[in-house]
Amino acid sequence: MKIGTTTLTMAGWLVDQRQPGKSRKHRLAAIRQLVEGYGLSAVELTLDFGVVYHQVFNADFYAAVADLQDEIGFTCTVHLPFLWLDCSSLNEPVRQASTDCLRRAIRLTRPVDVTTYVLHLWGLTTIQIIALLDGPGQRQAVIDGLMAQAGRSLAEVCEVLEPRDLCVENLEAPPFDVAVPLVEQQGASICLDVGHLAWQGGGELDFLTRHGDRIREVHLHDAVSVSTGGRTQTRDHLPLGRGQIDYLAFLRQLEEIGYEGAVILENNSQADLEESLERVKAFL
């Protein structure tokens, strides 16, 4: 397996659009530090930058990433845009705009040797709508409609990308089982996000057993769930060892099944990344 992380741990989300050259250099320096400074073998690019800050992270930037990849050698994965998008939207113009955005983002990365592309097949609006539904009949009818839209979007994205390289990520809700038929129909792959599973009670080892043949990328971060007043609240994207996930058992199972893909540590800061790396140094 190839342990890596995102540039967010080193460079964050903020971008100075007044100094595009400096912002590009800062992001490229983050990649170099992750590979040469921390000895990581994989880096995940966040494509929201390419669409939100398109004048900064333009085609020239991704050409520079490709040159850096040739120079220092690293596996590159891509997280496709997800902010303000919803591929399962029942509002058809929103759904279509979301897939158009994804397709443009994919084209931006053509110079880079990308192993896998991670996709959120539905957005926050869909998650919120499902959470508000009462009654199993109403809930299922709406989910069926949403997944029909999601299936259309997945097919459209697969028109510009090898389906196997597209990894649909499990999100906090609803259960990933609703997406499995769509993934299988298109011949797509899966990104297993271990922290997201904690929102539904965990079960990463079982998920790995059931879907191991389709999992081509893993997002790993710790999570903790606390019940208060009859409600359960979950915090994820924690450094490994700060939550309830048995990450060592999970990594050992990945080794046992011969997993060769990227394991992206999804932490939010350099300090959190360093804490996680200390926990998994035996796997580096």
H or E stretch at 168: strand 166-169
| pTM above threshold 0.85 | yes
- Mean pLDDT, range 119-134, rounded to an integer: 86
Our count of domains for the chain comes to 1
Does some domain include residue 215? Answer: yes
Q: Chain-wide mean pLDDT for the chain?
A: 94
Beta bridge partners of 169: 191
Look up residue 27 and give its two tokens: 């992001």
Does some domain include residue 22? Answer: no
The string of pLDDT tens digits covering residues 213-224 is 999 999 999 999
Does some domain include residue 21? Answer: no
Task: State how far the Cα of 45 lies from the Cα of 111, in Å rounded to an integer.
Answer: 13
Task: State how far the Cα of 210 lies from the Cα of 193, in Å rounded to an integer.
Answer: 14
The string of pLDDT tens digits covering residues 147-168 is 999 999 999 999 999 999 999 9
Task: State how far the Cα of 140 lies from the Cα of 136, in Å rounded to an integer.
Answer: 6
Range of the domain at 244: 2-14+27-283
Does some domain include residue 20? Answer: no
Task: State how far the Cα of 265 lies from the Cα of 219, in Å rounded to an integer.
Answer: 6
Task: State how far the Cα of 34 lies from the Cα of 254, in Å rounded to an integer.
Answer: 23
Does some domain include residue 19? Answer: no
Task: Tell me if residue 5 falls in helix, strand or coil.
Answer: strand
Look up residue 205 and give its two tokens: 């080892």
Bridge-based pairing of strands 189-193 and 166-169 is parallel
Long-range pairs for 81-86 at CB < 8 Å and ≥24 separation?
81/47, 81/48, 81/50, 81/51, 81/52, 81/105, 82/48, 82/120, 82/123, 83/48, 83/52, 84/123, 85/120, 85/123, 86/122, 86/123, 86/124, 86/125, 86/126
The string of pLDDT tens digits covering residues 233-263 is 888 899 999 999 999 999 999 999 999 999 9
The string of pLDDT tens digits covering residues 6-19 is 999 999 999 999 99
Does some domain include residue 251? Answer: yes
Which residue shows structure tokens 């990104």? 191
* First and final C-alpha spacing in the chain: 9
Beta bridge partners of 189: 167
Does some domain include residue 264? Answer: yes
Does some domain include residue 10? Answer: yes
Q: What is the CATH number for 144? A: 3.20.20.150
